[in-house]
């Protein structure tokens, strides 16, 4: 059926390749749930959001003239189509738009005509007849990004489909933000399970998660997550910075969505903050550098090892966010861009945060 799911989100790749994943929910609803009453007014920040629907353009190709259809798309997507066809989909067309090429005559034809693949295209079209609400969320996020990072360049947004190959949101080159709409069809979409999407990803499969996935991809494009030789505390602060960045750029998104938690998981964290932190201390995990022992607390999973089944797997991210917020409260002159750029001395950072779990 569908090709197998890649493990995790796409990794960073060098230049010219990838560099770093409830239906119509109006902005007013998200704004009412974001939990941030101090968000700055960015209505006057000028952003020109450029979006294109590659998924619709692919669907519209005449299956009797696939090569000609791709040639037309090449003129519309000169900066993205070769990557999409050859690197992302692995068709090996290499710009040779001829129906005799195997990647077109067999590969692309299969994606456009096989009932299962065609059914996915139709499902995406049904769930996303337009992207007006998603555009609105991204527009707002880019306005906040411009507010906090005035020199940040704008990105063209390409909505696409990768036939469930787990390309939720990613950056390509320095100009494009890709969004795979097929990875945001809701947790009940039956074929996610068939291609191995774990149940604990349910929060990430919702339409409302798209802006989170998008700006997380932008963040990770510019800020690599370091694990080798790093303590759990260091990794938690890294994840905490990312979560704080998302909180500032997406204040209109509910807190649990920004963290990719369920509402129950977030409530559990809030009610057990001291217990979580004391667990890490009791296990001597804060300054542990063995990835086998501690990396699971800053990576996605069904629940946190050694904790309640109600806990999120990535519980260290939540603790890291509380530490970062405490640090910023102690340093009111610290700007977001300086926080992100500042190297992490985890022990000093923790001390200067004066973090006290509730």
Would you state the torsion angle of the CA atoms of residues 295, 299, 302, 307, taken in this order, to the nearest 10 degrees?
Answer: 40
Instruction: Based on the fold, state whether residues 73 and 194 are members of the same structural domain.
Output: yes
Question: What is the gyration radius of the CA atoms in the chain, in angstroms?
Answer: 21
Instruction: Based on the fold, state whether residues 50 and 186 are members of the same structural domain.
Output: yes
Instruction: Based on the fold, state whether residues 33 and 102 are members of the same structural domain.
Output: yes
Instruction: Based on the fold, state whether residues 189 and 295 are members of the same structural domain.
Output: no
Instruction: Based on the fold, state whether residues 80 and 168 are members of the same structural domain.
Output: yes
User: Angle at Cα 11 formed by Cα 7 and Cα 17, nearest 5°?
Assistant: 130
| Neighbour-count burial for 182-207, b at 16+ CB within 10 Å, e otherwise | bbbbeeebebbeebebeebbbbbbbb
Question: Which H helix or E strand runs over 340?
Answer: helix 336-341
User: For position 5, what pLDDT does the model report?
Assistant: 33
pLDDT digits (tens, 9 = 90+) for 290-301: 999 999 999 999
Write out residues in the chain with pLDDT < 50, as ranges. Answer: 1-29, 31-36
Residue 165, CB-side half-sphere exposure with 13 Å CA sphere: 15
Report the distance separating Cα 97 and Cα 267, nearest Å. Answer: 53
User: In whole angstroms, what separates CA 152 from the centre of its chain?
Assistant: 18
Question: Which H helix or E strand runs over 29?
Answer: helix 27-33
Closest CA to 313 of 269, 258, 272, 250: 269
Instruction: Based on the fold, state whether residues 218 and 236 are members of the same structural domain.
Output: no
User: For position 37, what pLDDT does the model report?
Assistant: 53
User: For position 18, what pLDDT does the model report?
Assistant: 45
User: For position 8, what pLDDT does the model report?
Assistant: 38
User: For position 38, what pLDDT does the model report?
Assistant: 84
**14 lies in a domain?**
no
Instruction: Based on the fold, state whether residues 95 and 160 are members of the same structural domain.
Output: yes
User: For position 23, what pLDDT does the model report?
Assistant: 31
Instruction: Based on the fold, state whether residues 188 and 56 are members of the same structural domain.
Output: yes
What is the total count of domains within the chain? 2
| Residue with the two structure tokens 């890709």 | 178
**139 lies in a domain?**
yes
User: For position 4, what pLDDT does the model report?
Assistant: 32
Instruction: Based on the fold, state whether residues 216 and 302 are members of the same structural domain.
Output: no
Burial class (CB in 10 A: 0-12, 13-18, 19+), 131: buried
Domain extent for 175:
27-222
Of 198, 222, 246, the domain-final residue: 222
Instruction: Based on the fold, state whether residues 156 and 193 are members of the same structural domain.
Output: yes
């Amino acid at each position: 059926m569908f090709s197998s799911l890649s493990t995790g989100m796409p990794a960073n790749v060098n230049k010219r390749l990838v560099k770093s994943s409830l239906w119509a929910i109006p902005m007013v609803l998200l704004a009412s749930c974001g939990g941030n009453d101090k968000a700055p007014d960015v209505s006057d920040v000028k952003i020109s959001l450029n979006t294109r629907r590659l998924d619709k353009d692919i669907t519209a190709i005449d299956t009797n003239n696939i090569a000609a259809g791709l040639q037309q798309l090449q003129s519309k997507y000169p900066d993205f189509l070769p990557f999409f066809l050859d690197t992302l989909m692995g068709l090996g067309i290499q710009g040779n738009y001829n129906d005799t090429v195997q990647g077109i005559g067999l590969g692309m034809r299969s994606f456009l005509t096989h009932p299962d693949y065609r059914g996915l295209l139709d499902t995406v079209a049904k769930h996303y007849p337009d992207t007006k609400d998603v555009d609105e969320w991204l527009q707002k996020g880019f306005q906040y990004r411009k507010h906090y990072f005035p020199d940040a360049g704008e990105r063209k947004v390409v909505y696409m489909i990768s036939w469930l190959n787990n390309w939720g949101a990613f950056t390509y080159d320095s100009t494009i933000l890709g969004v795979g709409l097929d990875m945001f069809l809701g947790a009940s979409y039956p074929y996610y399970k068939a291609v191995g999407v774990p149940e604990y990803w349910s929060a990430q499969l919702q339409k409302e998660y798209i802006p989170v996935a998008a700006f997380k991809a932008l963040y990770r494009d510019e800020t690599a997550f370091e694990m080798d030789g790093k303590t759990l505390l260091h990794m938690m602060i890294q994840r905490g910075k990312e979560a704080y960045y998302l909180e500032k750029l997406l204040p209109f998104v509910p807190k649990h969505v920004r963290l990719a938690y369920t509402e129950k998981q977030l409530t559990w964290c809030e009610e057990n903050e001291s217990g979580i932190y004391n667990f890490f201390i009791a296990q001597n995990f804060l300054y542990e550098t063995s990835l086998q022992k501690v990396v699971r607390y800053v990576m996605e999973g069904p629940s946190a090892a050694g904790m309640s089944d109600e806990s999120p797997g990535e519980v260290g991210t939540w603790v890291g966010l509380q530490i970062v917020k405490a640090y910023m409260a102690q340093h009111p002159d610290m700007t977001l861009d300086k926080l992100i750029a500042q190297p992490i001395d985890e022990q000093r950072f923790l001390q200067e945060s004066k973090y006290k779990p509730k």
